[in-house]
Chains A and B, each alone.
Chain A
Amino acid sequence: MNEQPAFDPAAPLTPTGNLRRRRAISRVAESGATLAAVLAVGVLAIVVYSVLVHGASALSLDFLFKGEPDGIGPALVGTAEIVAMATVFAVPLGVLVAVYLVEFGGGRMATPIRTTLDVMNGYPSIIVGLFVFALIVEPTESQSGIAASVALAIIMLPIVARGTEEVLRLVPDSMREASDALGVSRWRSVLTVILPSAVGGIATATILAVARAAGETAPLLLITSVFDGSHVSLNPFEAVPNIPVTIYKLSEEANPEGFARAWGAGFVLLAFIMVANIGARVLLNRSRRKMAG
């Protein structure tokens, strides 16, 4: 071979040729990647820490239970109400769509359904807000909690559907075949065997969807933003006080006292979301272990 002289195999096993330089480049790359990861964790830590530190000082029982201007009690109740209603809308719908995709193959509609779910997953929430505004708020000429629930349900739907689809696919086909062989009808095996075994995954997906919905501000800004935060309002046919819009409004005013309340509300919201995410993860690991073993 017409080449540079072959290396001396008996030489010590330290870098020869251009290896030193290549090693250095590799080390720089590795450091860069590590640094990036540290950066991400750092940003998370900074944000969480800020919310914790500033929000904790605003927390008190009064804060949690009283209405404006002392506290965010009505907003907490309102968010809970809106999200609960949204869950009632989204979960059955999402589960049914997933069942259709997995148990009935989706028929001719499989690709449009999957594309729809993927698109909905990335749908800007302000667009969902515009849509529901045009659909419900404008014709009824009033903001309402129920319209907000519809909007949040639309946002939750793809999360629930995807999570359910994943866990339904984990159910081994042998279970379905055994059911068939025993002469059990489709609907019976889905309702009494398959869905119950998927409950863990569905719960996980629901929790993640709830955590997402609880923090959504844009649709609520358009649909349920004109409210009186001083007392609890359970009437879903009017604008319902809620946490995200409260935080947003307080953040846009130049009032330092308002800021303190916003941090406090942010603290509660973030704490809820973090706990929900961690809980969902724990549940996921547990149900995965159950499925695998």
Chain B
Amino acid sequence: MSSVEQQFGQAGFESVPHAPPSRVRIQTGPLAEAGPSSGRRELAVEAVFDVREVSVHYGAKRALQGVNMRIPRSRITALIGPSGCGKSTFIRSLNRMNDSVTGFKLDGEVLYHGHDLYAGNVDEVEVRRRIGMVFQKPNPFPKSIYDNVAWAPRNLGLRHGLDERVEQALRGAALWDEVKDRLKASALGLSGGQQQRLCIARAIAIEPDVLLLDEPASALDPIATASIEELMHSLKGRFTIVIVTHNMQQAARVADETAFFGLNAAGGEPVGTLIEHDHTEKIFGHPADPRTRDYVSGRFG
């Protein structure tokens, strides 16, 4: 994909000549005509996730409502929107990380390659092996850099060629050159940006199918943030990536598709929901929903 960022560096957007129109896919929230039977749906790229009418409750509190979405393979999908609209809840529901939160309840279906993630016979450890996650705040283990990356492969029994695996993962995370001489040093001695790239290396070392990133750069300084973004481009072809970000320039630069989560106040209490999901240029260029337009233009003023 061409350097999308060059076209979005200035304020304002031009519609960018895009790939074949057969990839156009429109998803809207409950406001539009809903349902998979909508004639406007056309699929060329396989969907890794098929989210159907998903709502999430934490105890009595409703955190997310009526989300319908298909997440395409080998693409970067960004989730944007103001705080408190359920983006984190949503992304954590994609790999069963919300299981440990008390009172968590998910209605609807999350299909991963056609399998219901929340079915009774699903092993959540297996889920997380296939769907990796990088968190907002870097959380390296208090071990050496090498052991951080090698830990999960060792668990999985991938002991042969561990050194190469670690090196490939660190290269993939654009960290290898900086740490290759001190693999045995403690990971806690790295800078914030390096630690986050280490967490990414850790996640890709086991070659997951999907990589979920929950605001990976929000705790980092701008230079570190830029390095993470570059990483996203290089990782895109290898993994399906879903990234939550508050930073709209980041989404615009990096993502193929963008989903905007906002608050839906209809029916009393405002609840987070998916407002609009489309190709990134469309979302930032001429969004269909006024709420999307307000959010997107408000920032770019």
Chain A interface residues toward B at CB < 8 A: 1-4, 6-7, 9-10, 12-19, 22-23
Cα–Cα, bound, A6→B158 (Å): 11
* B155: A residues at CB distance < 8 A: 22
User: Is the pair B161, A19 in contact by a Cβ cutoff of 8 Å?
Assistant: no
Greatest chain B CB density within 10 A among A7, A9, A10 is at: A9
User: Is the pair B158, A3 in contact by a Cβ cutoff of 8 Å?
Assistant: yes
Asked if B254 lies at the interface with its beta carbon under 8 angstroms from chain A, I say no
**Per-position contact with A for B112-137: 1 when CB-CB < 8 Å, else 0?**
11110101011101110110000000
Given the known interface contacts A19-B126, A19-B129, the answer about A1 and B209 at a Cβ–Cβ threshold of 8 Å is no
Chain B interfacial residues counted at CB < 8 A: 26
Cα–Cα, bound, A14→B117 (Å): 11
Chosen A-B contacts, 21 in total, with CB atoms closer than 8 Å, are A1-B165, A1-B207, A3-B158, A3-B165, A4-B158, A7-B130, A9-B48, A10-B114, A12-B115, A13-B119, A13-B122, A13-B123, A13-B127, A14-B122, A15-B125, A15-B126, A18-B156, A19-B126, A22-B125, A22-B155, A23-B123
Cα–Cα, bound, A118→B115 (Å): 58
* A16: B residues at CB distance < 8 A: 126, 129
Cα–Cα, bound, A22→B130 (Å): 16
Interface contact tally, CB-CB below 8 A: 54
> A10 CB to closest chain B CB, in angstroms?
4
Contact of B207 among A2, A6, A10, A12 (CB under 8 A): A6
User: Is the pair A14, B126 in contact by a Cβ cutoff of 8 Å?
Assistant: yes
* A7: B residues at CB distance < 8 A: 129-130
Chain B interface residues toward A at CB < 8 A: 48, 112-115, 117, 119, 121-123, 125-127, 129-130, 155-158, 160-161, 164-165, 168, 207, 209
* B160: A residues at CB distance < 8 A: 3
User: Is the pair A3, B161 in contact by a Cβ cutoff of 8 Å?
Assistant: yes
> B241 CB to closest chain A CB, in angstroms?
14
User: Is the pair B207, A9 in contact by a Cβ cutoff of 8 Å?
Assistant: no
* A19: B residues at CB distance < 8 A: 123, 125-126, 129
Closest to A9 in B: B209
> A2 CB to closest chain B CB, in angstroms?
5
> A8 CB to closest chain B CB, in angstroms?
9
* B113: A residues at CB distance < 8 A: 9-10
* B112: A residues at CB distance < 8 A: 13
- List the 5 closest A-B pairs by CB distance, nearest first: A9-B209, A10-B113, A13-B122, A18-B157, A15-B123
User: Is the pair B158, A23 in contact by a Cβ cutoff of 8 Å?
Assistant: no
* A18: B residues at CB distance < 8 A: 156-157
* B165: A residues at CB distance < 8 A: 1, 3
* A13: B residues at CB distance < 8 A: 112, 115, 117, 119, 121-123, 126-127, 130
